[in-house]
Amino acid sequence: MSKRVVVTGLGLICALGENTEQCWNAAVNGVTGIAPVKSVNADGCYANLGAEVAAHNKELSEEDYDRSSLLCIKAAGEALKDSGYEITPENSDRIGVIIGNCVGGAVSIDEYYTANKNGGGKNTDVLKMPAAALANNVAFHYGLNGTTANIVNACAAGTISLAYATDLIRSGKADAFVAGGSDSFSSLAFAGFHALHALAPNSCSPFNLSNGITLGEGAGVLIIEDYEHAKARGAKIYCEVLGSGVSSDAHHITAPDPEGKGQMLAITRAIVNSGLNASNIDYINAHGTGTAKNDEAEFLSLHTLFDDNNHLSVSSTKSMTGHCLGAAGSIEAVFTVKAVCEGIVPPTIGYTEENLETLKEKAGNIDFVPNVKREKEIKYAASNSFAFGGNNASIIFAKEPRDIPDRANMERIFVTGLGELIGKPQVEISSDNYKEFGIKMAFYRKLDRFSQLQLISGMRALKDADVAITDENAGDIGIVVGTADGPLTEVYNFQKTVCENGTAAGSAFSFPNTVYNAAGGYFSIFAGIKGYNVTNANSVQAGLQSLCYAADVIRNGDENIMIATGTDENTEVTGYLYDTLGLMSKDMLGEGSVSVVLESEASVEKRGAKKYAELIGWATAHKAVPFGKLGGSENALKTAIENACKNAGISVSDIDLVCGAANGVAEVDELENRVYSELFGDIPTVRVKSECGEARAAASAEQAAYAAKELSAGKYNYALAAAFGVGGQYSAVVLKKV
């Protein structure tokens, strides 16, 4: 039996209330939180409704963090208190923070640009902008020193964060996680969906009128915990977390596959990984956005998989909370857990008598719970999320324990392909780059620079590994993109236009590129990759953390091949913002995308693939310090290195090549030198950033790529790559000569 994982705490804030009980009571009674928007100027817009959080919370009046962080801190505090989890110096490194988000600190970008335009603003406000700050801010606020990650897969982010936390606990890498999602109501999101003409002119009406979404905001946080750990401390247990599934449509950047194939793959994976079949599911909290294309695809998916299930209830709580983007999946997960525990299905509201007649024709055997809650026993419930970029995720909660398959794949993992596009200050992108892979201009022109870099390096890595993607293997291949700053240039420029010209001036062409996972989405669409797809924004070390994450996905038995990538761009906007911060001069910056193909031994042997090196150890560590700082976190670097070596089954003294992350900033170089001197003495250390500049996530992935090439050349036996993130995040990997 696979290790049991349980939910021991819940925290929730959204337009329905300021805590879990308020929100739950409103939801089951069909109370809506949708009203005319107050925080965004909707003049000239055809829609003016939203589901905003009341702004009088004390926690939300602080000035240290972006609103997304403040919402999450509020929900996390409730969840931790609810769980009774006492954080001590002795256990703080065994509880981590994984948070889903869509557009990062969009409210702070708006505030910064507006203040800057008027001659005000603080330079330190730039640190509020990246999505990379979110999990770190929660961790620092509560003194949590376990693994951090910011899952930025748009509307599926909250659900993927729960799935990832569960997998890490099952693999023994943590005792518990503060996991969930958070997003704030912003002019960026409102203007973007308005430009796409995706907003409902009236309250959204999922599975009913389906004439658009209503944006919301909030945060949902769950304490996900190892059962034995929870039992030992006498924790109350809400329910079990069973299996999850993650997939890609590989269809379109904003529209779902109309045949619902990606959705069904994610749902089916979650069911199979839970040791269940479709007939076992009692309730599904659906994605249910209220747009015609999404609702039609989801109707098809539900009917295809569940028409033989004559006791299934389905509802969309977005009809009351609005669509809370990166927080949607975790808010809905909290509602799903409450439904399991209390035997109540919250309704989908907004049906008239006439609508109910139409619903009967579309619903079939499925009960869509219109207007009024449904009381019933719920043994197994799923929460589904589908997002921009074609990202899909499903997770299943259970009332009682159940044996689930142990899917761990303990085969060796090899590096079989590299795709490098990295340099200082910028890399050249020419027509030859897209002609090489048959990328048509009509497709290429849709991409911002961030996505262009990702697409080229990803395709180079697949070509180098000689991986041919077919209908048969498309679901067995996945992607993890790591980034420090994501599409910050596109976000900043979009926001600038909105601030200068009004909310109605948002560009429908550029808005899809403001979501962090667009780069991974475009890559999956062009390559035809339909497996696991996630983007993690976790500062400079995110490219190396992507290898750790990808290796975990293979080890968990989810995929056979993973493309792990670090991608960050360098533009005038990036240079201006880094120069403003004073962390480094813009002359020190580089950019690029470096993709590494990781592959299980069975897949390598089946394909007869070449091997650069074997990945034998990987680890992440964190010491919570303020975002933008490193001081006081050096022990976490040492821990990441020691744990990676331990995971590899070797001692630190066996390492004969170190690929470091020094970048010319005194604080970084001095910290690294102290730790490396203590651990390695005179072992050769290569500083890849001396060539490529501080290319952030791309440079950290390049550290691993460089090590793999050196091992392939037979120069060394064991190589280590280790990287830092501002805020005290570290990742380390150990590679072995084949």
Q: Which residues have a catalytic role annotated?
A: 155, 287, 323
Output the furthest CA–CA distance in the chain (Å, rounded).
78
176 with 95: CB under 8 angstroms? yes
Helices (H), 260-351: 261-273, 292-306, 318-321, 328-342
Buried b (16+ CB within 10 A) or exposed e, 481-516: bbbbbbbbbbbbbbbbebbeebbbebbeebbbbbbb
H or E element at residue 326: none
343 with 325: CB under 8 angstroms? no
114-123 long-range contacts, CB within 8 A, separation 24+: 114/499, 117/499, 117/500, 123/580, 123/581, 123/582
Half-sphere exposure of 129 (CA within 13 A, CB side): 29
Distance between CA atoms of residues 371 and 28, nearest Å = 10
| Contacts with 303 (C-beta within 8 Å, 6 or more apart), sequence order | 364, 366
Distance between CA atoms of residues 564 and 545, nearest Å = 9
Distance between CA atoms of residues 542 and 566, nearest Å = 7
Buried b (16+ CB within 10 A) or exposed e, 277-314: ebebbbbbbbbbbbbebbbbbbbbbbeebbeebeebbb
Distance between CA atoms of residues 293 and 530, nearest Å = 20
Distance between CA atoms of residues 300 and 164, nearest Å = 27
End-to-end alpha-carbon separation of the chain, Å?
Answer: 33
198 with 91: CB under 8 angstroms? no
Q: Name which of 182, 217, 220, 215 is nearest 330 in CA terms.
A: 220
174 with 147: CB under 8 angstroms? yes
Distance between CA atoms of residues 3 and 506, nearest Å = 48
* Strand ranges, E, within 187-232: 218-226
- Looking at residue 457, its amino acid is S
- Looking at residue 329, its amino acid is G
Tokens of 482: 């790591």
Q: Name which of 240, 262, 183 is nearest 514 in CA terms.
A: 183
How many CB atoms lie under 10 A from the CB of residue 92? 18
421 pairs with which residues across the strands? 593
- Please report how the helices 449-465 and 488-501 are oriented relative to each other, as an axis angle in degrees rounded to 10: 160
Classify the C-alpha dihedral 428-433-439-440 as positive or negative. Answer: positive
566 pairs with which residues across the strands? 482, 594
Distance between CA atoms of residues 477 and 204, nearest Å = 36
